[in-house]
Amino acid sequence: MSTTTFRALGVPALLLVPTLLTAQRPTLSATVKPYVAVDTPVVALTHVRVIDGTGTAPKEDQTLIIRDGNIALLGAARSTRVPEGAQVMDLTGKSVIPGLVMMHEHLYYPTGPGVYGADYVSFSRLYLAGGVTSMRTGGNVGGYADLNLAAAIKAGNQVGPWIDATAPYVNGPSPFTQMYALKDSADARRFVAFWADAGATSFKAYMNITRAELAAAVNEAHKRGLKITGHLCSVTYREAAELGIDDLEHGFFVATDFIQGKQPDVCPAPTGGMPALVGFDAKSPEFTSLVQHLISHHVAVTSTLTVFETVTPGQPATSGTDVLDPLLKTQYDQLYTRVQQNTASPFAKLLPLDRAMELAFFRAGGLLLAGTDPTGGGGVIPGYSDQR
């Protein structure tokens, strides 16, 4: 666990996982056992309110039976028989929700401009304590570390949610010294193949990839039954959809589709498509056409509103900063003050615009995913921000 970035987490949480994560219950290591309060084959949650996540009304006074990590039965408490030998937990006055499935998380945190500190152990515990039971890392600067942590959690040797571990970023030449720079499309194919063989279960294309490189990466990932998402800039959303990408990150904040005179395979600016969105109309024919194009190509969009809230005046301060190292907490407090004082910030208009664009995409039938993205200038805290 990092001793420089995050304070040690010493209080065990009331967790049903990893019992709930898999029907084949792993043997728990000495590291994991102190964090597991319920580790029996059959558990009955009685007199509980159930919110199933489908949008239907909550079900009151329910009994939920869990057997070998699977939900075996749900019914009214008055008529549902509790199996003999089950551990019974009376949850009167409490609610049960599905575990959070978060699709743009990281195992690092910004410690300075362009500097990211790795927090594998503390972050995995924070995510789980915040209700995240499954997550995808939205990019990897730790190489094998992300993959090894995912494997250790699956084996019962570390505490954390199930992790869909991305490989290192799939990117062309860029200012990011942490990232490998692809040479061409053949190199992109080799890169994906190498990390898939190493255990990566998904991929993320980044801002300076070319269309040819992205096409090769998508093809190689799909050949192996894996998915690829992207925080794109040099490639537009429309182009990426035509190349077969599975997902696009950050809502529509970074889409470069609406930049006049954009050059092919060139990222016009580090801010991506944001300048073109100032004053943009979410009801415009151009946006409606893009939405339909993404939906027709079965491309999901991941919302990461939490990270953009940290740079938008008028938004609430981040919760959970008490787990930060004091220096990082001070840095965040200073950032928050500067953001609130910047009344001319374009994000004051961009944030509500992207919310409207994401809502329009969802209402049109698009698959909208959720993530937090603990990057930027800080203030996106794993677990806490997932509940936001």
Type of residue at 181: A
Q: Is domain 40-96 given the CATH code 2.30.40.10 in the classification?
A: yes
Statement: residue 7 has pLDDT above 50: no
- Binning pLDDT at 50, 70 and 90, where does residue 24 land? low
Write down the pLDDT at residue 178: 87
Write down the pLDDT at residue 25: 66
Mean pLDDT over 59-67 rounds to 97
Give the C-alpha distances (Å, rounded to integers) separating 102 from 126, 168, 276, 372: 13, 19, 29, 8
Mean pLDDT over 317-333 rounds to 92
**What is the model's pTM?**
0.90
159-216 confidence digits (pLDDT tens):
999 999 999 999 999 998 889 999 999 999 999 999 999 999 999 999 999 999 999 9
Write down the pLDDT at residue 315: 95
25-34 confidence digits (pLDDT tens):
678 899 999 9
Write down the pLDDT at residue 23: 47
The 3-state secondary structure of 265-319, one letter per residue: CCCCCCCCCHHHHCCCCCCCHHHHHHHHHHHHCCCEEEECHHHHHCCCCCCCCCC
222-275 confidence digits (pLDDT tens):
999 999 999 999 999 999 999 999 999 999 999 999 999 999 999 998 888 899
Query: What does pLDDT average to over the chain?
Result: 92
- Binning pLDDT at 50, 70 and 90, where does residue 69 land? confident
User: What are the residue boundaries of the structural domains of the chain, listed by start?
Assistant: 40-96, 231-387
Write down the pLDDT at residue 6: 45
Beta partners for residue 43, in sequence order: 66, 87
353-373 confidence digits (pLDDT tens):
999 999 999 999 999 999 999
Torsion (CA) 132, 3, 154, 10 in degrees, nearest 10: -70
- The span from the CA of 300 to the CA of 103, in Å, is 11
Q: State the Cα angle at 154 between 152 and 159, rounded to 5°.
A: 65
Type of residue at 35: Y
Write down the pLDDT at residue 176: 87
Could you list the beta-strand ranges (E) of 18-129. 42-50, 59-67, 70-76, 87-90, 95-96, 100-105, 108-112, 115-118
